[in-house]
Structure 1
Amino acid sequence: MNSYQTLSAYYDRFTEDVGYAVWASFFERLFARESVVPALILDLACGTGSLTKLLADRGYEMIGVDASPEMLMQAMNNTMDCEPRPLFLHQRMEELDLYGTVDVCLCCLDSINYVTDPAALQRAFERVYLFLEPKTGLFVFDINTPEKFARIDGESFVREDEDVFCVWQAAVEGALCAYQFDIFERSGAQWSRAQETHEERIYSLAELMGMLEKAGFTEIRTYGDQSFAPVQGGEDRIYFTARKRD
């Protein structure tokens, strides 16, 4: 589950519409809003390093952490021209172990939902808290909302280009949403098929706020998708910010 053993090679091709530059600019506005001037940023669950690279190019020192060695290989290749190059670590969120503290921890693209064990997510929040800079550390993450999972339940989605075709289906059962990926790649006249299954957990705002508070975070805020508007209900994605105030 959630290994990206096959999907990692195609991930960037299928997420060209994500708009990482828009995300990076939103985070910089958020830093200003929170009166944080970060030097060192942790990109937790960094994937192929697209956001890591953009922020590194904007002058931030970056650490990227991911549980998938295949995704980290892509991230290392994608950031070869960065100076200084980001540091990449192969770790699960709940086992986060850094060499020191960071000013900001970002965890993007519903990576929090990918932690399907609530106890593991609680440990992850505690590890993030431990490695944030005291008094000023900022934790920022987004989630897919329960409303989004209800909307995509039973739906199928397709991504394709000249030589690769990917279709995935979403199925919600209880608090879990399973994605079944079928990837077809052409080599000459032949097509090969690979399959992966990923899972995300549906977390409520109240659950996540309780976990953050238990981990020690304060000043917990939620925002609509890439905006500073309060959550109205019905959003597909919302953002959390939380502070470490020792």
Structure 2
Amino acid sequence: MAYQQMAKLYDKLMDAAPYDQWDEITREILNQASISVNQIVDLGCGTGQITTRLAQSGYQMVGVDYSVDMLSYAEQRASEQNLSIQWINQDIRYTEGIIEADAVISYCDVINYITTEEDLNLVFANVADMLKDDGIFIFDIHSLNHVEQDMVNQTFATVDEDLSSIWFCSPGEDSGEMNHDLTFFVKTDGDSYSKFEEYHHQKTFSVGIYQTLLEQNGFQIKNIYGDFSLNEEDVHEETERIFFVAEKRSIK
């Protein structure tokens, strides 16, 4: 899934996304970490909305994304803000060349695009290789309940003068699996519109599966949070977005 034509519209489509909350919760978690955090790797960084926010806070940022087009917009954003950020075009299942990072983050459902346990294992192993001992890994996912109750078998639509979209979310074969069929109508010249389509495939697993795979790859679960709250009690049946905070075990 390379986002293709969607890249140039992504920021407009995500205009209401809670980027400031991702930025804030990251800084709060890292302030509580057992190590001093300087370098952060942002996996699935997209157009760099979160990456640049953290860079503005003084972190040394590395942004990784599979889409060259997304990275192009990210680089432009960083340049406009006079931020020095390293951008890397790689599939997060097969990353290489990044080592000794203090923290790795992956937000906005990026991990939900990893739809098999085998690929999740690859990603978690790669993250462990990127991190120094005691390094922090933070990521979020859609909860199973949110997927099954609020997303699958639903149709979503947005209508704007310059951009409209229709999004069909259908269930996959397994619990937590969903297929997104999106159609966009983009205004071109005058009253003309250009139509294009995107297909996205996501899956969310139980909390237990993520925990098991993290532990198998040398991580210790530090906390599990819900919906941008650092109160552990806020993880419950109605939680929509679950945050995992894991620490790479020291081998010393």
TM-score, normalised on structure 1? 0.94
Look up the match of 1:181: 182
Label 1:87 to 1:160 Cα distance change in 2 as closer, same or farther (>3 A).
farther
Distance 1:232 1:45 in 2: 27
Matches of 1:102 and 1:212 in 2, distance apart? 17
| 1:117 Cα deviation from its structure 2 partner | 2.5
Report what 1:18 is aligned to: 17
Distance 1:219 1:117 in 2: 21
Which position in structure 2 is the counterpart of 1:244? Answer: 248
Of stretches 159-168 and 66-75 in structure 1, the one that deviates more from structure 2 is 159-168
Residue segments in structure 2 that go unaligned for 5+ positions in a row: none
Correspondence 1:45-194 to 2 at 5 A: 45-134=44-133, 136-150=134-148, 151-175=150-174, 176-187=177-188, 188-194=190-196
Quote the sequence identity (%): 28
Q: Deviations over 1:46-84 (max 9, x none)?
A: 011000111111111100001111211111111113444
TM-score norm. by structure 2 comes to 0.92
CA offset digits 1:161-207 (Å, max 9, x no partner): 32111111111122320011100011212111000100101211011
Task: Give, in whole Å, the separation in 1 of the partners of 2:155 and 2:130.
Answer: 39
The residue aligned with 2:3 is 4
Residues 220-229 or 9-18, more deviating: 220-229
Q: 1:211 is matched with which residue?
A: 213
Deviations 1:105-156 (A, max 9, x none): 000011111011221110110010011011x200000000111111211111
- Partner of 2:164, secondary structure, is strand
Residue equivalent to 2:198: 196
The equivalent position to 1:234 in structure 2, one of 235, 238, 242, is 238
Q: Distance in 1 between matches of 2:83 and 2:187?
A: 37
Work out whether residues 56 and 82 of structure 1, in 8 Å CA contact, stay in contact via their aligned partners in 2: no
Which amino acid is 1:214 matched to? Q
Task: Determine helix, strand or coil for the equivalent of 2:132.
Answer: coil
**Partners of 1:34 and 1:227 in 2: how far apart?**
17
Q: Secondary structure at the match of 1:120?
A: helix
Shift of 1:221: 2.3
Contact 2:54 2:61 in 1 (8 A): yes
Residue 224 of structure 2: aligned partner: 222
Between the aligned partners of 1:9 and 1:160, the Cα distance in structure 2 is 18
* SS, match of residue 126 in structure 2: helix
Measure how far apart 1:34 and its partner are.
2.5
Select between 161-170 and 86-95 the one with higher mean Cα deviation.
161-170
Does the 8 Å contact 1:149/1:172 carry over to 2?
no
